Amino acid sequence: MTCDLTNPIFTDEAKATAHMEADRWPDGVTCPLCGSDNVTKMAGLTQAGMFMCNGCRDKFTVRTGTVFERSHIPLHKWLLATHLMAASKKGMSALQLSRMLDITYKSAWFMCHRVREAMTPTTRGPIGGEGKTVEVDETEIGGKKRWRAYAKKEPKKHKVLTMVDRTGESFSYRIANVTAKTLRPLIVSVVSRKSHLMTDEALWYVRLGEEFALHSTVNHADNEYVRGSNALQDAECACRASKNGSPICPR
């Protein structure tokens, strides 16, 4: 998919459908239900974009079997939403997506969850490895009472742990509390112990760092955020992206 937002597949439904069909079936249309290539494209306004399988006698479209299936949202808006979510470094909130696509917040929220589900890798970890640096940091997601005009009490906050391989792969997990006991099982299961672990100087990382090939820190308590190659910018960006609605792995 091109990075040009003026591409007609993001605005024209017919061209979006043609693009998806060419991408999904480069060697010819096959039935996603039975695998047969004996299919017929149906005609008529009410059946535009539909195919009839002459093997199983079922109808299908290019959406069948994808996260776009059974949705009344136009396909060109799905393609634009997918592109925006994949290209946005700091994440894309459902509220922002609803404004950009001119759809309701409820529809944008639904789209975000489906696209993120499609982005979920089939296998997880380990990230890092020999000669690679993995940044680890934690944050809290949730607003403050003073930011809500009618809040009667402080909104509940959720703690999130983020691990980022500097080559690009990252994982975020919701955790019950921030202690060595809760952080260690997650970190050692996701991050290769041959990695260079980069954290701040929190106590729960001190003994954990001894299990990795190398452990470096920055001292946030003294407002130190960068010292040579020691930094947590990637992890902090991923934490901010989690606040904006980027995927968080289930526990």
Give 4's pLDDT tier (boundaries 50, 70, 90). confident
Asked if 111 and 81 touch (Cβ cutoff 8 Å), the reply is: yes
Q: Could you read off the pLDDT of 117-138 as tens digits, one per residue?
A: 888 777 666 888 888 899 898 8
pLDDT of residue 144: 64
Look at residue 249 and tell me whether its pLDDT is greater than 80: no
Amino acid at 111: M
Greater confidence, 29 or 124?
A: 29
Q: Mean pLDDT across the stretch 147-173?
A: 76
> For a pLDDT cut of 90, what percent of the chain falls above it?
37
pLDDT of residue 154: 66
pLDDT of residue 212: 92
Look at residue 225 and tell me whether its pLDDT is greater than 90: no
Domains assigned to the chain: 8-119 (no CATH), 133-243 (3.30.420.10)
HEC secondary structure over the chain: CCCCCCCHHHCCHHHHHHHHHHHHCCCCCCCCCCCCCCEEECCCHHHCCCEEECCCCCEECCCCCCCCCCCCCCHHHHHHHHHHHHHCCCCCCHHHHHHHHCCCHHHHHHHHHHHHHHHCCCCCCCECCCCCEEEEEEEEECCCHHHCCCCCCCCCCEEEEEEEECCCCEEEEEECCCCHHHHHHHHHHHECCCCEEEEECCHHHCCHHHHCCEEEEECHHHCCCEECCEECHHHHHHHHHHHCCCCCECC
**Of 139, 132, 108, 247, residue with least CA distance to 192:** 132
pLDDT of residue 25: 94
Look at residue 246 and tell me whether its pLDDT is greater than 60: no
Average pLDDT over the chain reads 83
Q: At a CB cut-off of 8 Å and minimum separation 6, what does 48 contact? A: none
Asked if 184 and 193 touch (Cβ cutoff 8 Å), the reply is: no
Query: What's this model's pTM, rounded to 2 decimal places?
Result: 0.60
Look at residue 60 and tell me whether its pLDDT is greater than 90: yes
Of the listed ranges 53-62, 171-180, 242-251, the least confidently predicted one is 242-251
